[in-house]
Structure formats: C-alpha cells, structure tokens
Amino acid sequence: MPSARKDNNGFTIIETIIAVGVGGFIITLVFLAIPALMRTSQNNQRTQDVTTILQVVSNYRLRNLGLFPTASDVAFTGNNKLTYYAAGNVKFNDVNFWIGDDSVNVKNHVKCLGDTPTVNGAGSRDIAALYSIKTGSGYSPKCRSL
C-alpha cells in the first residue's frame, strides 16, 4: 500500500509566531537602548565643553594678572569651540544657577569635592564649573575644577 506523503513546504504557524516574537523582542531592545545612547553622547559633549570652558578661563586669568573673566571677556571660537553649550549659557559666579538649567556656572575661589562645590580649602587660583548631566530620571549635578 503506497504511503501518502505530504510535502512540507513553508513554515508552520508556530514557527512564524516564534520568528515574529523574537523579531519584536529585538526591535524593542533597540528602541529602549537608543535614548540611553543619546543621553550618554550628550553627557560626553557636556563634559568636553566644561573642560574647554575651564581651560579658556584659566588661560584668560594667566594673560590678565589673575583676574576672573566676565561673560563678555571670553570667546569660544577656533580651538575653543563648544559643541553642546551655547556661549550665552556659560555664566560666571551666577547665584541663580540651578541644576537642570542647560548652562554652566564657573565659580572663582571654589573647588570640587566629588560633585559638590566647596570653598573650604579653596585658594585664589581655584576655579570650578558647576553643570548637570541627564540621567534616566532627571538631572544629576556635576562639579569639575582645575
């Protein structure tokens, strides 16, 4: 008696559902990772800009007998170009600075103790930049000094 042989061309419904589920899972992971990658990139740009700002301020003080600059005294052009912050967002000794503001506050006679600015033990040559970085749940304060 000849056996009835069935040709199995194509995929079963179970195989198709599994393939779609795995594909959806991978796409979900990619979409969840993109905001974190963008945030990390922006935070790296912020940190690089803060380093540039501190170098510009330090160079200004070296050329001007230790005087601390005002916003109109420094220019962020050429090698000192900022990538994230606008020059107008660089403030000097701003008492109204708050975390989450998209600006940098450069302070004179201040140094950083971790991410906290302090005047304790700070000398006349110490300068610090206060800024914030984005986290998954908001903003986190940062302090960087020379």
Q: What is the pLDDT of residues 95-135, one digit of tens each?
A: 666 666 688 889 888 899 998 888 888 888 889 999 989 88
Structure tokens at 85: 């912050």
Residue type, 82: L
Are 74 and 104 in contact by the 8 Å Cβ rule? The answer is no
Predicted confidence (pLDDT) at residue 85 exceeds the cutoff of 80: yes
d(CA 93, CA 76): 18
Q: Alpha helices of the chain — where are they, by DSSP H?
A: 13-63
d(CA 38, CA 120): 36
pLDDT of residue 72: 80
| Phi, psi angle pair for 133, to nearest 5° | -120, 155
